[in-house]
Amino acid sequence: MARALPATIALIVFFALWEAACRGFAIPEFLLPAPSVIARAIAAAWPMVLNHTLATLGTVLLGFAASIAVSLPLAMAIASSTTIAAALYPLLVVTQSIPKVALAPILIVALGANEAPRIIVTFLVAFFPLVVASVAGLLAAPPELIELGRSCRAGRLQELLRIRLPFAVPFVFGGLKVAAALSVVGAVVAEFVGADAGLGYLIQTSMAFFRTPLAFGAVVILAILGILLFQAVALAERLLFPWSSGAERPALAA
C-alpha cells in the first residue's frame, strides 16, 4: 500500500492541474475537456458506454487468448530446433513489419464485417513480443542444468517439461504483460477500421460530432482496461508462480 501512495498522489495532482488549467484558461470543451466534464459525459451515456466497453473487452480477451495459444507452441518449436528457428524467424519479422492498420481493412474485406478480423488484428499486434520473450526464456536455462538433465539421462521431452519450461516462466510473464497492453491497442486499431461497437468505434463516432468529452472518456476507459489486464497478469504470476515474481526480471521485450 505504501508503494501505491506516491502514484496515487501524482495521479490526483495530475487531474487537479488538468481541471484547473481547463477552468483557468477557459479551454473550449471540444478541444480539451476537463476531467469533471469527461466524468459527467460518461455518466450521462453510461449504459451505451458499458456496451461498447464490453465489446472491446471481448475482442481484447479473445485476441490475447489467441496470441497465447499460438505463441507458446511456436516458441517451443523455435527453441527446440535451430532449423525451425531459421525458417520461422524471418516470417515472424515480416508479420511485425506490416503495419496492422494497413492490414485491417484488407482482413475485413476478406473475412467479412464480424468479430474475426478484429481478433486477428489484435492477435497480430500482441503475439510477437510474447514469442520473443518465450523463446528467450526457453533458452535461458543454464547449460549446466541441461547437462545435469543429460547426465540423469533425461530425454528431450523431460528436459523441456522439467527444466526449460519452468525456467521460461518469468520471461513468459514478461511477454504476457507486454502482450496484454498491446491487445488493447490492437483491438482499438481494428475497431477504428471496421466495427459497429467498441470503444474505438465510440471514439470515432463521438469525434465526428465533436463530442470530445465522450471520446476522452473512452480513452480513459481504455487506459483502465489496459492497466487492469496488466495487473491481472501480474496477479496470476504471483498466485501461480510465487517464486517467479521477484526472481531475475527479464527485460521487457519491446
Partner 1 sequence: MIAIEGVGKRFSGRDGGAVQALEDVSLTVAPGEFVAVVGASGCGKSTLLRLIAGLVAPSAGRVAIDGAQVTGARTDTAMVFQAPTLLPWADVLKNVTFPMRLMRRAGPGTEDAARALLARAGLAGFEGRLPRELSGGMQQRVAICRALLQQPRILLMDEPFGALDALTREEMSLELLRLWTESPMAVVFVTHSISEAVLLADRVIVMSPRPGRVVDDVAIPLPRPRSFDQEGLPAFQAAARRIRDHIFRGQAARAAA
Give me the residues that bind partner 1 (CB under 8 A), please: 142, 144-145, 147-154, 158, 162-163, 166-167, 169, 241, 243-244, 247-248
Q: What type of residue is 201?
A: Y
110, burial (CB in 10 Å: exposed 0-12, middle 13-18, buried 19+):
exposed
Q: Which residues are CB-neighbours of 177 under 8 A, at least 6 positions away?
A: 230, 233, 234, 252
Query: To the nearest whole angstrom, how small is the minimum distance from the Cβ of residue 156 to partner 1?
Result: 13
CB-side exposure of 236: number of CA atoms within 13 Å? 14
Nearer to partner 1, 204 or 245 (CB): 245
Nearer to partner 1, 37 or 138 (CB): 138
Element (H, E) at 108: helix 100-111
Nearer to partner 1, 230 or 241 (CB): 241
Nearer to partner 1, 154 or 207 (CB): 154
Rounded distance between C-alpha atoms, residue 84 and residue 57, angstroms: 34
Q: Residue 153: left (phi > 0), alpha (psi -120 to 50), or beta?
A: left
Helix (H/G/I), strand (E/B), else coil: 164 = helix
C-beta neighbour count of 54 within 10 angstroms: 13
Query: To the nearest whole angstrom, how small is the minimum distance from the Cβ of residue 159 to partner 1?
Result: 9
Query: To the nearest whole angstrom, how small is the minimum distance from the Cβ of residue 170 to partner 1?
Result: 9
Query: To the nearest whole angstrom, how small is the minimum distance from the Cβ of residue 180 to partner 1?
Result: 23
Query: To the nearest whole angstrom, how small is the minimum distance from the Cβ of residue 150 to partner 1?
Result: 6
Nearer to partner 1, 156 or 162 (CB): 162
